[in-house]
Structure 1
Amino acid sequence: MIAKLIYGDTCQGIMKYVLGKEGMRILGYGNIFSQNIAPKFFENVLHFQGQRNATKNRYVHISLNLPHGEHLDDKTFLKISEEYMENMGYGEQPYVVVRHTDTEHEHVHIVTTNVKEDGQVLGIFNSHRRSMATRQHLERKYGLSLAPTTKQKSQLPIYRLPELQFGMDAEKGTKYYLQDVLNSINQKYKVRSFEELERLVKPYHIEIKRTKNESGRIGVKYGLDNQKGYRTNFINGSEVHRNLSGSKLQRVFDIHSKSKLLPMQRKRLLKQIETTYGLFKTIRPHDLIDVFKGYQDIDVKLDKKGDVIEGYTIFDKSRYVFRARELGKNVRMQNRLDIFGNREEPTQIDTESRQFRLEVQKVIKEALTTSYLKSQKQQGLLSEYIMTINFSDIVPSLKASKKHSFLERYIPKDKRTEFRKAVEKIFPIVRERLYIVETKKEKVALQDKVNLIGKVLKNKIFDIGTEQGSVRLLFQVLGVKYRNEQLSYTNSDRHTIPVKLGKLAFPEAMENYVSSSFVRQNHLMLEMLSERSSESGPKLTATAMFLPMIFPKLYKRLNPEYRKQYDSLALSAYIKDAERMHAPFEKSAKDYIAFFNAKGFYFVKGEEGLKIKSIYTGNDSSHALSKRTNLYLSSVSDLTRVFQKQKPIIQELLEEGRNNLKNLWAGHLMERGMYDKFAFMLTAEKVYPNLHREMVQHHMDNGLRESVNVASARYSNIQQNRMLRKGVYAVSSLLGGSGKKTEEMYNGFKDELTDWSKYKGKSRGVSF
């Protein structure tokens, strides 16, 4: 089901369209004293209530659209509409639900107002996000087909193209079809001119005419030509929508054209195209789409006139649309006959080109790094690892590489064997270069760690010292060790830096490995605490919230003056991440509050607005919500009563002992689909997630139930459990790493999280 919302300052045109369609049926009214009133009477009620406030978004036009072939009877469609309005916050507003039968897919229109009876405006914050969550909820409840939730890269679908029976009236279907397409195009692309807009809307049968009055004011008119003998009159842009008038569009075009980023994007794109040309000996024009997409991840469309390809248009990731000819003469197909001259010759890479040699080096470097990250026994640093492996060791990574597959696809068949030999021949050279580069990086990174340790000790962020050897805790969480008055990496002695601390009282048996992703987050956190600033450097992720769980011995020694700062930074990072995870389920501001309550977070009113606190941080610690979120939550009419309902929820979590970060971590794993790791925590450690019931049910239906049953069945196999445990408290790049490759490492601390001895000889299972 697809839901669309359009806001406006008048309702007459909307009502004429909704009620004037042939074959329309009024399914029902909302919050009107009778279901037998005349449509004109309802229109007057809606008009006068909307006029009680001067906001531009007085009225709302909503359409709920089923996919082709899906059917609902009137009673069910009305019920779905009523639930949609209730969840969207319009439950107490007057509205009408009208069913149309003029298209192949079934749909209803709902018209209401944002203005309440007292003249106040409803809070419509996050309306499109709430609509998505409400739609998904109704799809699950009524067994409807699921609509896509991710951004579509394909061309905009034409949901409703007006047919001949719509007539010539601007208030009929033509106007709303134009709204749909033009608004979507302007949101998807940074259009810079009317000429560009004309090209973009042409596939949707929309024609554009520009006008200019005596005073020089720019105007625009829109019309439809569906190529079936049906053409509409041209409609003034301001009649289609106030933001689609000529003058307003021209202002938007000027902003996009004068952007300081535009020259940078054009220069970057030009370099990418020239690099692509430098790699190929010949390119068949019809292969250009695949070549650009596979090599540079650039979306292009061929410009054709009849059967002749005249050039291509680039739909850039910056949302700008460029024609090849505007980027430079040298990239036009007509000016590069050396590549495009023989249009029947197959597309082939130039194996003698400098660019090809560079690409071969890149795929080898990528394979070396990938094989290191995926190695089961990851011993030593990358610089040490790559000098111990042979070419055969990286062959699996090469075969799995998209870049390698792309190169091999366009290399002439008679040269593929030669290509494989060339890759093997150049392998030692690339390995040596990577060794030198990584060695330099590792030395710099180690020095950065030493400098950070000095700042932390100087500022007394933790209550640690050298007398009892507690400074080792700081060394361990930064991935370094101290030996013979030198600091080196935990898993390598290759690089050392002298640090005169004398002989320290360290335990003989020391744990020597920590998940690198947590080390990175801990490094960022300590940099922020030592600089007393959260604005500089890379941003923390939600992982920062769990540092006291992974490094309990160190964070128990965090000095009080820094504890509050840490709590604020961790809360801020986690909340931003949680808001994104809640979005598909969040139907209202009450849901926003309920989802955080279930996780152990609660809201309080402060002098400067609303704040959020948690059961995992100190009572004095809080995070101030943004102005927009303040307004969003304040739109709840009974907010004080809703806040009072938080108390028993939070109290229950505390009484059950679920104020442990492990409970939050279990929910964190579940939200990211890491079901095997969560299943291990549940079966082996009896750790239950702090997560809202609705979300738990979603994940249960999405594969969690099967993972839990499998984990329970194999619980008695100690070897398998050891493998599971190695991943449970590790964080991959998905949760805050570099984002390049998945990396999971074992936290070797034998604290309460990883003490296997308490389960030795026991067998326990949990099922749902």
Structure 2
Amino acid sequence: MIAKIIYGETCQGTLNYVLGKEGMRILGYGNTFSQKVSPKFFGDVLHFQGQRNATKNRYAHISLNLPHGEHLNDKTFLKISKEYMEKMGFGEQPYVVVRHTDTTHEHVHIVTTIVKEDGKVLPIYNSHKRSMATRRYLEKKYGLSQAPTTKRNRQLPIYRLPEEQFGMDAEKGTKFYLQDVLNSINQKYKVRSFDELARLVKPYHIELRQTKNEMGRIGVAFGLNNQKGYRTRFLSGSAVHRNLSGPKLQKVFDAHSKSKLLPMHRKRLLKQIETTYGLFKTIRPHDLKDVLKGYQGIDIELETKGDVIEGYTIYDKSKYVFGKRGLGKHIRMQNRLEIFGNGNEPTQIDIESKQFKLEVQKAIKEALTTSYLKSLKQDGLLSEHIITRNFGDIVPNLKASEKFRFLERYIPRNQRIEFRKAVENAFPIIKKRIYELETKKEKEILEKKFKLIGKVLEKGIFNVGTEQGSIRLLFQALGVKYHDNQLSFTQSNKHTIPVKLGNLPFPENMEKHVSTGFVRQNHLMLEMLTEQSSENSPKMTGSAIFLPMIFPKLYERMDPVYKWQYERIALGSYVKYAEQMHAPFEKSAKDYITLFNAKGFYFVKGEKGFEVKSIYTNNKASYPLPKRTSLYLNSIPDLSVRLQRQRTVIKGLFEEGRNDLKNLWVGHLMERGVYDKVAFILTSEKAYPNLHREIVQHHMDNGLRQSLVQVSQRQSSVQQKRLLSKGVYAVSSLLGGRGKNQDEAFNGFKDELTDWSKYKRKGVGMG
């Protein structure tokens, strides 16, 4: 099911369209005196209530659309519509639900107002995101087909015969269609002129006319012409939508045209095209589209008339659209006959070109790196791995590479053996060059780590020293080790830096396994705490909050002032991550709080807005939410009651022994889809992930249930039943089926991967 919401300043035109469609059926009303009110009476009620506030987005037009071939009876469709309105916060408002039968897919229209009886307005923060979550909830509840999660190219509506289309649809249906297409175009592209807009809407059978009155005011009008005998009269842009008037569109066009980024995008695009030309000996004109897409990821449409290519349009990733006039004459086909003027010769790469040699180098480097990352045991550094590889070792990775397959596709058949030999002959030279570059980079990284350690010790971020050997904990958490008065990488002795610390003892029970992903996170965190990070530095991820679980002995020694700074940064990183994970389930501002509460996070309202805290950090540590998010939470009608309820949830987590980062970690793995690890923990340990039951149920349906069965099947028949029952017990407890007798709180984490990684004979880092 697809749900769409459009807000507007008036409702009369929308009601005329919704209630005036041929074959429409009113399924029901919401919050009116009776279900037998007349459409005119309802329109008056809606109009007068909406006029009680001067906001521009007074009215809402919602459509709920089923996929082709799916059917609902009127009673069920009305029930779904009412539940949608309740979940979206419109349940107390007057609204009408109308079913249309003019398209091949079943759908209803709902018209309402966001203005309440007292003149205040309903909050519409994040309404489109909440609509997505509500739609998903209803799909699951009523067994409807799920809407696609990725954008697809929409098919144009099928036009009916002209004699059926003229009349009411020309005034109302056309207007709604024009709004939909034009708004989509303006969101998708940074249009710079009316001529460009006319070209972009032409495939949708929309025609555009520019006008200018005596005062010189620019105007625009739109009409439909499907070239099959059906045409509508032209509607002025302002009549279609207030933001589609001539002056307002011109203002947008001017802003896009004057952007300082436009010349940069044009220059980059020209360089990409020139690079492509430099790679090829010949390009068959009609192959240019596939060549640019496959090599540079550039979307280009060739404008053809018969077999003749008259021009092109490039839809750049920057949202700008470039035609042949916008990029200069030098790249036009007629001016590059040495590439395009070779008759019917096939498209061929020039294996003697400088660009080809660069691409071969890139393909070999990618294959060497991939072979290192995919190796079961990454012993040593990348440079050490590279120097020991033979050409045959990387052939499987080369064949799997899209870059290599693209090159091979355009090599002439009679030169493919020669091509492969050229790659093999180039391998030793390229391997040596990459080895030297990686060696230099590794030395710089080790030097950087050494300087960071000095800053950390200088500022006293951790209470570590040489006498107890606790400084080794800091070394390990940054991916280095100390031996024979030298500092080197943990997994290699290739590079060293002299550090005279003498005979340095080891601390008791030092961690054996350290994930490279968490080493990177720890490095970034310490750079921030020592103020060595910059705007261009990599950003922290949500997993930064787990650093005290990965390096417990080190973070136990953290200075309280820096501990507060760390927790504040980690909270902010995790909140941003969690908001993305919660989006498919967040139907309202109440859900925003509920989903975080289930994870052990709670919200406090202060003078400057909301702050988030957690059961995993000190009570003084908090992260201030952005102003817009604070406004969103303030929209909850019974906010004080909702904030009070947090105590019950948080208290329950403490009572159940789930106030540990380990519980959050299991939920984190579940959200990341690492179901094998989660299944092992659920079946072999007493683990209760801190996650809302709706999200747990989603992951059970999405593959976790199957992973539980597979993990249990690896054991003996006696163990199977025991392990599977443990897993089912753990999950059922999350879904609300736990009894009074609870198992001991889970404490089986010996490292951040759990013992499951040892059964798999390899470790997997999460960073």
Q: Fold-level match, TM-score > 0.5? A: yes
Identity level (%): 72
Secondary structure at the aligned position of 1:330 is classed as: coil
Query: Within 5 Å, which residues of 2 pair with 1:368-767?
Result: 368-506=368-506, 513-531=513-531, 537-715=537-715, 751=750
Distance apart, 1:716 and its partner CA: 6.2
Shift of 1:199: 0.7
| Residue of structure 1 in register with 2:736 after alignment | none
Select between 305-314 and 532-541 the one with higher mean Cα deviation: 532-541
Question: For each residue in 1:411-449, what CA deviation from the matched residue of structure 2 results, as whole angstroms up to 9, or x when unmatched?
Answer: 111111111111110000011101111111111111110
Q: 1:265-305: CA deviations, max 9, x gaps?
A: 11001010111111112222222222111111111111123
Equivalent residue, structure 1, for 2:733? none
Provide the residue aligned with 1:765 in structure 2: none
Aligned counterparts of 2:111 and 2:749: Cα–Cα separation in 1: 62
Q: Which piece of structure 1 moves more, 303-312 or 260-269? A: 303-312
**How much does 1:712 deviate?**
2.0
Alpha-carbon shift at residue 508 of structure 1 (Å): 9.7
User: Separation in 1 of the partners of 2:346 and 2:571?
Assistant: 57
The residue identity in structure 2 corresponding to 1:157 is Q
Structure 2 spans left out of the alignment, 5+ residues:
718-747, 760-767
Cα distance in 2, alignment partners of residues 589 and 159 from structure 1: 36
CA shift, 1:671, in A, is 1.1
Q: Deviations over 1:131-181 (max 9, x none)?
A: 1111111122222222112234x4x43357576334355641000000000
Verify the 8 A CA contact 1:490 1:513 in the aligned structure 2: no
Give the equivalent residue in structure 1 for 2:155.
157
Structure 2 counterpart of 1:258: 258
Q: 1:582/1:491 Cα in 2 relative to 1: closer, same or farther (>3 Å)?
A: same
* Distance of aligned partners of 1:394 and 1:213 in 2 relative to their CA distance in 1, 3 Å threshold: same
Correspondences of 1:323-342 after superposition (within 5 Å): 323-342=323-342
Question: Which segment drifts farther, 23-32 or 495-504?
Answer: 495-504
1:7-156 equivalences in 2 (<5 Å): 7-152=7-152, 154=153, 156=154
Counterpart CA distance in 1 for 2:157 and 2:465 is 68
The CA distance in 2 between the partners of 1:34 and 1:69, in whole Å, is 33
CA distance, structure 2, for counterparts of residue 317 and residue 301 of structure 1: 14
- Please tell me the residue identity of whatever aligns with 1:101: T
1:244 aligns with 2:244: yes
CA contact (8 A) 2:472 2:507 kept: no
Aligned to 1:136, what secondary structure does the other structure show? helix
1:163/1:263 Cα in 2 relative to 1: closer, same or farther (>3 Å)? farther
Give the Cα–Cα distance (whole angstroms) in 1 for the partners of residues 132 and 345 of structure 2. Answer: 48
The answer to which of 192-201 and 533-542 deviates more is 533-542
Partners of 2:645 and 2:509 lie apart in 1 by 50
Secondary structure, counterpart of 2:61 in structure 1: strand
CA distance in 2, matches of 1:140, 1:171: 37
Higher mean Cα deviation, 355-364 or 163-172?
163-172
1:167 aligns with 2:177: no
Query: Relative to 1, partners in 2 of residues 1:373 and 1:716: Cα closer, same or farther, differing over 3 Å?
Result: farther
CA contact (8 A) 2:470 2:507 kept: no
* Partner SS for 2:3: strand
Q: Is the 2:133–2:586 Cα contact (8 Å) retained in structure 1?
A: yes
Equivalent residue runs for 1:270-281 within 5 Å: 270-281=270-281
- Give the Cα–Cα distance (whole angstroms) in 1 for the partners of residues 647 and 159 of structure 2: 52
> Structure 1: which amino acid aligns with 2:305?
K
8 Å CA contact retained: 1:136, 1:584: yes
Closer/same/farther in 2, CA of residues 336 and 168 from structure 1, 3 Å limit: farther
Alpha-carbon spacing, 1:756–1:14, altered in 2? closer, same or farther (3 Å): closer
Deviation, structure 1 residue 390:
0.6
Contact kept? 1:13, 1:171, Cα under 8 Å: no
Give, in whole Å, the separation in 2 of the partners of 1:534 and 1:565. 17
**TM-superposed deviation, 1:312:** 2.0
Contact 1:16 1:171 in 2 (8 A): no
Residue aligned with 2:610, SS: strand
Aligned CA distance change for structure 1 residues 252 and 168 (closer, same or farther; 3 Å)? farther
CA distance in 1, matches of 2:224, 2:667: 51
CA–CA separation in structure 1 for the residues paired with 2:483 and 2:749: 21
Query: Which string of whole-angstrom CA distances, capped at 9 and with x for unpartnered residues, describes residues 626-648 of structure 1?
Result: 11111111111011111122122
Any gaps of 5 or more consecutive residues in structure 1?
A: 718-748, 761-768
SS of 1:371's partner is helix
CA-based RMSD: 2.0
CA distance in 1, matches of 2:196, 2:754: 64
Name the SS of the counterpart of 1:327 in structure 2. Answer: coil
Match of 1:580, as an amino acid? Q
Which of structure 1's runs of 4+ aligned residues deviate more than 6 A?
532-536
Q: What is aligned with 2:177? A: 177
Of the structure 1 ranges 4-13 and 159-168, higher mean CA displacement relative to structure 2 is found in 159-168
Q: TM-score, normalised by structure 2?
A: 0.92
Mapped partners of 2:653, 2:578: distance in 1:
19
> How many angstroms does 1:308 deviate by?
2.3
Equivalent residues of 2:468, 2:507 under 8 A apart:
no
Aligned to 2:226: 226
Pair 752,441 (structure 1): closer, same or farther in 2 beyond 3 Å: closer
1:510/1:582 CA distance change after superposition, 3 Å: closer
Q: What is the DSSP-based 3-state SS (H/G/I as helix, E as strand, rest coil) of the residue aligned with 1:583? A: helix
**For the Cα contact (< 8 Å) 1:479–1:513, is it kept in 2?**
no
Give 1:686 shift: 2.5
Aligned equivalent of 2:194: 194
TM-aligned CA deviation for residue 451 of structure 1: 0.7
Aligned to 1:301: 301
Residues 251, 389 of structure 1: alpha-carbon distance in 2 compared, 3 angstrom cutoff: same
Counterpart CA distance in 2 for 1:99 and 1:571 is: 46
Classify 1:384/1:508 alpha carbon distance in 2 versus 1 (closer, same or farther; 3 Å). farther
Deviation at 1:590, TM superposition (A): 1.1
Q: Which amino acid aligns with 1:158?
A: L
Shift, 1:753, TM fit: 5.8
Q: In structure 2, what is the Cα distance between the partners aligned to 1:527 and 1:163? A: 68
Identify if the C-alpha distance between structure 1 residues 659 and 163 changes in structure 2 by more than 3 Å, giving closer, same or farther: farther
Which secondary structure does the structure 2 equivalent of 1:222 belong to?
strand
- Looking at structure 2, the residues matched to 686 and 402 of structure 1 have their Cα atoms a distance apart, in angstroms, of 44
Cα deviation per residue 1:529-554 (whole Å; 9 max; x = unaligned)? 12298967331100101111111111
Offset, 1:334: 1.7
Contact map agreement 2:550 2:751 (CA 8 A) in 1: no
Bigger drift between 197-206 and 664-673 goes to 664-673
Partner of 1:744: none
C-alpha separation in 2, matches of 1:232 and 1:21:
17
- Matched AA of 2:282: T
Deviation at 1:587, TM superposition (A): 1.0
Evaluate the alpha carbon distance shift between residue 498 and residue 104 of structure 1 in structure 2; reply closer, same or farther with a 3 A threshold: same
| Cα distance change, pair 395–213 in 1 and its aligned pair in 2 (3 A) | same
Distance 1:752 1:268 in 2: 46
SS of equivalent to 2:530: helix
- Partner in structure 2 of residue 746 of structure 1: none
Q: Distance in 2 between matches of 1:422 and 1:441?
A: 28
Larger mean CA deviation between 166-175 and 403-412 belongs to 166-175
Equivalent pair of 2:473/2:510 in contact (CA under 8 Å) = no
* Cα deviation code 1:350-402 (max 9, x no counterpart): 11211111111110011111111111121111111111111111111101100
How far did residue 343 of structure 1 move? 4.7
